[in-house]
Amino acid sequence: MKTGLLDKPPEAAPIVQLVGDEAGETRAARSTAEGLAQELARLEQARAFAAPLLAGHTLDTQEDALEHADGVATILRGIGASASMQAAVYLVYVSEYLNKPEEVIAKAFGPSYASLVAATRKLVQIQRNARDALLGDEARAEQMERVRKMLLAFSRDLRVVLLRLASRLQTLRYYAAAKRDCPLVLARESLQVFAPLANRLGIWQIKWELEDLSFRFLEPEQYKRIARMLDEKRLEREQVVEAARQHVAQLLARHGISAEVQGRPKHIYSIWKKMRGKQLDFDHVYDLRALRVIVPTVRDCYTVLSLVHEAYRPLPEEFDDYIARPKPNGYQSLHTVVFDERGRPIEIQIRTREMHEHAEHGVAAHWAYKEAGTKGYAGVTAAGDFEMQVAEARRAVLRQLLAWERDFSGQAEGAANVFDDRIYVFTPQAAIVELPKDATPIDFAYTVHTDLGHRCRGARVDGVMVPLHTPLKSGQTVEVIAAKEGGPSMDWLNPELGYLKSPRARAKVRAWFNALAQQQTIARGRELVEKLLQREGRTAIKLEDLAGQLGFKSADALFEVVGKDEYSLRNIEQLLRPSEPAPTTDEVIALKKSRASEGGAPRGGVLVVGIESLLTQLARCCKPAPPDAIGGFVTKGKGVAIHRTDCPNFREIAGRHPERVIAVEWGVPAGDKPAVYPVDVMVQASDRQGLLRDILEVFAKEKMNVVGVNTQTVRDVASMTFTVEVSDSARVASVLNHVAQVPGVRIARRR
Which pLDDT score, from 0 to 100, does residue 72 have?
A: 92
Q: Is the residue at 364 inside a domain?
A: yes
| Whether residue 684 sits in one domain with residue 661 | no
Whether the predicted pLDDT of 483 surpasses 50: yes
Q: What percent of the chain has pLDDT over 90?
A: 17
Grouping H, G, I as helix, E, B as strand and the rest as coil, residue 423 is strand
| Whether residue 205 sits in one domain with residue 181 | yes
Q: Which residues contact 119 (CB under 8 A, 6 or more apart)?
A: 154, 157, 160, 475
| Whether residue 179 sits in one domain with residue 78 | yes
Query: What's the pLDDT tens digit per position in 6-35?
Result: 344 444 444 454 454 443 444 444 445 666
Grouping H, G, I as helix, E, B as strand and the rest as coil, residue 110 is coil
Distance set, CA 74 to CA 89, 210, 259, 410 (Å): 10, 16, 32, 36
Reported confidence tier of residue 282, pLDDT bands at 50, 70, 90? low
Q: How many CB atoms lie within 10 A of CB 722?
A: 25
Q: Which whole number is the average pLDDT over 701-708?
A: 85
Could you tell me the CATH number of the domain that includes residue 703? 3.30.70.260
Cα three-residue angle 678-682-685, rounded to 5 degrees: 145
As a dihedral over the C-alpha atoms of residue 726, residue 728, residue 730, residue 732, rounded to 10 degrees, the angle is -10
Q: Which residues contact 57 (CB under 8 A, 6 or more apart)?
A: 64, 65, 66, 96, 97
**What is the rounded CA–CA span in Å between residue 675 and residue 626?**
10
Grouping H, G, I as helix, E, B as strand and the rest as coil, residue 228 is helix
| Whether residue 349 sits in one domain with residue 292 | yes
| Whether residue 257 sits in one domain with residue 204 | no
Instruction: Kindly report whether the global pTM for this prediction surpasses the value 0.75.
Output: no
User: 273 or 392: which carries more pLDDT confidence?
Assistant: 273
Query: What's the pLDDT tens digit per position in 76-117?
Result: 887 777 788 888 889 988 888 888 888 888 888 888 788 878
Q: Using omega within 30 degrees of 0 as the cis cutoff, is the peptide bond preceding 602 cis?
A: no
| Whether residue 292 sits in one domain with residue 143 | no
Q: Which residues contact 304 (CB under 8 A, 6 or more apart)?
A: 252, 257, 259, 293, 295, 350
Q: By the 8 A CB rule, do 394 and 18 touch?
A: yes
**What is the rounded CA–CA span in Å between residue 360 and residue 99?**
42
Closest alpha carbon to 183 in 499, 191, 607, 79: 191
| Whether residue 143 sits in one domain with residue 86 | yes
Reported confidence tier of residue 295, pLDDT bands at 50, 70, 90? very high
| Whether residue 561 sits in one domain with residue 429 | no
The total domain count for the chain is 6
Whether the predicted pLDDT of 387 surpasses 80: no
Handedness of CA 660, 665, 671, 672 (dihedral sign): positive
Which pLDDT score, from 0 to 100, does residue 594 have?
A: 35
Domain boundary, last residue among 666, 689, 722: 666
Q: Is the residue at 660 inside a domain?
A: yes
Q: How many residues does the chain have?
A: 751
Q: What residue ranges in 136-289 does DSSP mark as E strands? A: 260-263
Domain boundary, last residue among 476, 501, 526: 501
Which pLDDT score, from 0 to 100, does residue 625 have?
A: 85
Grouping H, G, I as helix, E, B as strand and the rest as coil, residue 495 is helix
Q: Which whole number is the average pLDDT over 447-464?
A: 91
Distance set, CA 291 to CA 230, 271, 473 (Å): 17, 16, 48
Average pLDDT score, the chain: 76
Query: What's the pLDDT tens digit per position in 612-656?
Result: 556 788 888 888 888 888 888 888 767 788 888 888 888 888 888
The string of DSSP letters for 397-415 reads: HHHHHHHHHHHHH---TTS
Burial state string for 1-30 with b = 16 or more CB within 10 A and e = fewer than 16: eebeeeeeeeebbbbbbbbbbeeeebbbbb
How many contiguous H segments (helices) and E segments (strands) does the chain have? 26, 21
Q: Is the residue at 384 inside a domain?
A: no
Which residues are paired to 706 by β-bridges?
A: 724
Reported confidence tier of residue 377, pLDDT bands at 50, 70, 90? very low
Whether the predicted pLDDT of 346 surpasses 80: yes
Reported confidence tier of residue 128, pLDDT bands at 50, 70, 90? low
The string of DSSP letters for 506-536 reads: HHHHHHHHHHHHHHHHHHHHHHHHHHHHHHH
Whether the predicted pLDDT of 328 surpasses 80: no
Query: What's the pLDDT tens digit per position in 234-252?
Result: 666 678 888 889 999 999 9
Burial state string for 236-266 with b = 16 or more CB within 10 A and e = fewer than 16: ebeebbeebbebbbebbeeeebebbbbbbeb
Reported confidence tier of residue 441, pLDDT bands at 50, 70, 90? very high
63 CA to centre of own chain: 36
**What is the rounded CA–CA span in Å between residue 87 and residue 28?**
19
Q: By the 8 A CB rule, do 144 and 189 touch?
A: yes
Handedness of CA 194, 200, 205, 211 (dihedral sign): positive
Whether the predicted pLDDT of 433 surpasses 50: yes
Greatest mean pLDDT among 199-203, 349-353, 424-428, 737-741? 349-353
What's the number of CA atoms in the CB half-sphere (13 Å) around residue 545?
7
Could you tell me the CATH number of the domain that includes residue 261? 3.30.460.10
**What is the rounded CA–CA span in Å between residue 399 and residue 392?**
11
**What is the rounded CA–CA span in Å between residue 227 and residue 234?**
10
Label residue 479 exposed, middle or buried (CB < 10 Å: 0-12, 13-18, 19+): middle
Grouping H, G, I as helix, E, B as strand and the rest as coil, residue 492 is helix
Q: What is the DSSP letter of 490?
A: G
User: 678 or 302: which carries more pLDDT confidence?
Assistant: 302
**Which structural domain range is residue 450 located in?**
418-501
Q: Is the residue at 297 inside a domain?
A: yes
Q: Which residues contact 312 (CB under 8 A, 6 or more apart)?
A: 338, 339, 340, 346
User: 186 or 286: which carries more pLDDT confidence?
Assistant: 186
**What is the rounded CA–CA span in Å between residue 197 and residue 165?**
8
Q: How many CB atoms lie within 10 A of CB 49?
A: 18
Mind spelling out the 3-state secondary structure of 539-606? CCCCHHHHHHHCCCCCHHHHHHHHHCCCCCHHHHHHHHCCCCCCCCCHHHCCCCCCCCCHHHCCECCE
Q: How many CB atoms lie within 10 A of CB 411?
A: 14
User: Which residue type does 5 have?
Assistant: L
Q: Is 486 left (phi over 0), alpha (psi -120 to 50) or beta?
A: left
| Whether residue 69 sits in one domain with residue 149 | yes
Distance set, CA 373 to CA 18, 365, 376, 379 (Å): 16, 12, 6, 9
User: 713 or 735: which carries more pLDDT confidence?
Assistant: 735
**What is the rounded CA–CA span in Å between residue 4 and residue 12?**
18
Q: Which residues contact 573 (CB under 8 A, 6 or more apart)?
A: 532, 536
Q: Is the residue at 161 inside a domain?
A: yes
Q: Which whole number is the average pLDDT over 264-287?
A: 65
| Whether residue 168 sits in one domain with residue 51 | yes
Could you tell me the CATH number of the domain that includes residue 453? 3.10.20.30
The string of DSSP letters for 664-690 reads: EEE---SSSSPP-EEEEEEEEEE--TT
Cα three-residue angle 690-692-698, rounded to 5 degrees: 105
Grouping H, G, I as helix, E, B as strand and the rest as coil, residue 337 is strand
Q: Is the residue at 377 inside a domain?
A: no
| Whether residue 654 sits in one domain with residue 697 | no
Which pLDDT score, from 0 to 100, does residue 588 have?
A: 36
**What is the rounded CA–CA span in Å between residue 53 and residue 310?**
65
Which residues are paired to 31 by β-bridges?
A: none
Q: What is the DSSP letter of 470?
A: P
Whether the predicted pLDDT of 4 surpasses 70: no
Q: Is the residue at 475 inside a domain?
A: yes
Domain boundary, last residue among 190, 217, 244: 217
Which pLDDT score, from 0 to 100, does residue 508 have?
A: 92
Q: Is the residue at 12 inside a domain?
A: no
Crossing angle between the packed helical segments 383-409 and 353-372, to the nearest 10 degrees: 140
**What is the rounded CA–CA span in Å between residue 303 and residue 235?**
31
User: 728 or 385: which carries more pLDDT confidence?
Assistant: 728
User: Which residue type does 328 have?
Assistant: P
Cα three-residue angle 626-627-629, rounded to 5 degrees: 105
**What is the rounded CA–CA span in Å between residue 634 and residue 658?**
10
| Whether residue 276 sits in one domain with residue 166 | no
